[in-house]
Amino acid sequence: MRRVYLDHAATTPVRPEVLDAMVPFFTEKFGNASSIHSFGREARTAVDESRDVVARALGADPAEIIFTSGGTESDNTAIKGVALANRKKGNHIITSAVEHHAVMDSCKSLEQLGFEITFVPVDGTGMVSPDDVRSAMRPDTILISIMHANNEVGTIQPIEEIAKVAREAGVYFHTDAVQSVGNLPVNVEQLGVDLLSLSGHKLYGPKGIGMLYVRKGVKISPYMHGGGQERGRRAGTENVAGIVGLAKAIELAVEEQGEYARRLARLRDMLIRGVMDRIPDVVLTGHPERRLPGNASFCFKFVEGESILLNLDLQGIAGSSGSACTSGSLEPSHVLLAMGLPHEVAHGSLRLTLGRDNTEEDVQYVLDTLPGIIERLRAMSPFGR
């Protein structure tokens, strides 16, 4: 059976170049980067060089790069670290209603500690308005955290404008760029951000490694305490192989970003147009233009998302959904609800996210397969037409 992977927003395969770069650091170059001997120095050199590569790719200074275990740790560190270090300045944080749970739940955990959080709304396309951020600003605001691009619906936020709002007020600005690096140009100077989170496995690097950019001068408390690694900002023996892999992955992703995005956008548009043409009662979720090049997300009325996923999987197609069943709770995706979609429509969500290995034939296969699945489920549905 044909197998088509369309869940690149969940994770991506490690590129062969990345794996090749990593392998020696599991075996012959296994040293601890903190050790003084030649084994340690070998590892230290690799970590230093990787930091240079990552910094260059993002327009940052190497001293501004902290390696972490992934996007979730980066988000937790950024939000809790800034909040705790700047408590004397204020206790108000602004974020959006469509953030990844790593941001949203970090903010909620701070509410327990007495911080106040404002969740700015989004419009029907999932966009945050910089004006809403401005009006949410208070004298005691210490941090704004708005994602660069949404993981579910792919909407790209006006980060540069929000960064201006933050800068004018002298408030730190964090962005979760886990979905955007490799898909969009990401330069910390151009975006104007103070903190930026990134994950390895979303850009053809390994799982278990990520990075947090922290602009020089930003006051932040460490999240992990211990051996003083990462200049005391993130304790724990460096994941040398992971760091080397992350650097290689980012280097390639940034180098190839333009061509990669163009290729994916062409496939995405073919997929979106094909689905909208072939299937009635479907809603495209997210912004029609300002969306990630690989993201095609929909809601199919009168059917439920998990049923769609199971049927697609039986045909070899891997996708994801924001329905309650797939979100592991009784509620459908908070992103879809924040965009104003009714519960019953949000339950019919399907996200297909394209990547490097996808072809036109893959898209055609989905377009040949999906309409029959939706039709069959609708025939079974008490709301079917």
Partner 1 sequence: MYSQKVMDHFTNPRNVGDIPDADGVGTVGNPICGDVMKLAIKVRGGRIVDAKFKTFGCGAAIATSSMVTEMVKGKTIEEALKISNKAVAEALDGLPANKLHCSNLAADALHKAIEDYRQRKQAESA
Question: Which residues of this protein are in contact with partner 1, per CB under 8 A?
Answer: 302-307, 310-311, 314, 323-325, 328, 330, 332, 342-344, 347, 379-384
**Residues in a beta bridge with 176:** 197
φ, ψ dihedrals at 6, nearest 5° = -130, 50
Closest CA to 339 of 152, 163, 141, 168: 152
- Least Cβ distance, residue 347 to partner 1 (angstroms): 4
- Least Cβ distance, residue 381 to partner 1 (angstroms): 4
Looking at the Cβ atoms of 63 and 314, the one nearer to partner 1 is: 314
**Residues in a beta bridge with 93:** 117, 143
- Least Cβ distance, residue 299 to partner 1 (angstroms): 12
φ, ψ dihedrals at 210, nearest 5° = -155, -175
- Least Cβ distance, residue 211 to partner 1 (angstroms): 33
Looking at the Cβ atoms of 199 and 323, the one nearer to partner 1 is: 323
Looking at the Cβ atoms of 61 and 306, the one nearer to partner 1 is: 306
Looking at the Cβ atoms of 90 and 384, the one nearer to partner 1 is: 384
On whether the CB atoms of residues 357 and 5 are closer than 8 A, the answer is yes
The total number of residues shown for the chain amounts to 385
- Least Cβ distance, residue 310 to partner 1 (angstroms): 5
Looking at the Cβ atoms of 70 and 319, the one nearer to partner 1 is: 319
**Residues in a beta bridge with 5:** 318
Give catalytic residues, as residue numbers: 325
Residue 290 burial by Cβ neighbours in a 10 Å radius (0-12, 13-18, 19+): middle
Does the CA dihedral 181-184-187-191 come out positive or negative? Answer: negative
State the DSSP string of 255-321.
HHHHHHHHHHHHHHHHHHHHHHHH-SSEEE-S-SSSB-TTEEEEEETTS-HHHHHHHHHHTTEE-B-
